Structure 1
């Protein structure tokens, strides 16, 4: 019986000690946390939403660049097809009309395209006669060639960022990227 009583009294003493220690501390902590929970959701939203919205703008900006780049490549290839089969020569396109034709295929406003795009159309009787120079907006070449000539069509379109996030990574005031599209082919013998 003594062993039984000793264990019971020890257990009761531990329970009394635990309950005395826990009661004031747990009630104080509960009351503090209840008071602090009011703005926790707003703070968590601010911490999570700021980088999320920044990432969304970056993704949209990069997607816009890829989209304009893909339409620029399609426009240059379509313009090249028109040269290759002789429709440009038959219609008597000038350099400005050819630029207008290319810009009609792009996914940006035509007025911006006509002002900014640089297009070089160069032809030669042999492929080694074509140059590797970048298009110069101040001195654009326009020579669609004759039947059976080799033709190189290059277009460069500077595009600025509509998202100010890229200004953080750039040393210039407004970051600009240049999209380039190139196609080379041999004209059909349309003469």
Structure 2
């Protein structure tokens, strides 16, 4: 049986209190530190992507862009791969449009049945010439003279720190960087218009 003097002495003994308190605080502190590093890395990668895509956008506006397009794309990918894990995937998307106001717009169609969708053989303007109605009227590639081009880089990679589960974050980071450019007026712009019918 423990005597009263011993219990009194144990209550006054504070040895090891700091270690116990740190055991409570440490997980939260470590989670916060990893979260800060994870956000900082994502922000740095995003800034680097934006810089690379802006430079590529300026290079792609030139008349000679068609012959150097693959080299420009490779440079963007290599600049991004410097700061992301080896398992990262970097994809580039280029959509050309007749004008800036066409970017992100769906192809025009006549909504005969009023249901807000292109269907039931309703006629549409096939802006990108692919033979089907699209929610984005852009044509794949950098287009031709005077075309407005939306150039986007998408990178996806697993998080660098294993805290995503505790913080409720997805396992993979996905970052996007875009720029809009207009090709130089080195030729007449293609104004051909195709039509079709929605299925």
TM (normalized to structure 1)?
A: 0.64
Choose the corresponding residue for 1:118, options 86, 91, 114: 91
1:23-43 CA deviation, whole Å, 9 max, x = no partner? xx9x87763345x32211211
Q: How does 1:1-191 map to 2 (within 5 A)?
A: 31-33=9-11, 36-89=13-66, 91-94=67-70, 97-106=71-80, 107-109=82-84, 112=87, 116-131=89-104, 143-170=141-168, 175-190=171-186
More strand by share: 2
Deviation at 1:159, TM superposition (A): 2.5
Deviation at 1:64, TM superposition (A): 1.1
Q: Which has the higher contact order (CA 8 A, sep 6+)?
A: 2
Larger Rg: 1
Is 2:59–2:72's contact at 8 Å kept on the other side of the alignment?
A: no
Is 1:103–1:110's contact at 8 Å kept on the other side of the alignment?
A: no
Q: Where does the alignment leave 5 or more consecutive residues of structure 1 unmatched?
A: 1-24, 134-140
Deviation at 1:98, TM superposition (A): 3.6
1:138 — aligned with what? none
Deviation at 1:179, TM superposition (A): 0.8
TM (normalized to structure 2)?
A: 0.61
Is 1:104–1:110's contact at 8 Å kept on the other side of the alignment?
A: no
For residues 14 and 85 of structure 2, the distance between their equivalents in structure 1, rounded to whole angstroms, comes to 54
- Count of aligned residue pairs for this structure pair: 151
Deviation at 1:57, TM superposition (A): 0.6
Q: Where does the alignment leave 5 or more consecutive residues of structure 2 unmatched?
A: 107-138, 188-199
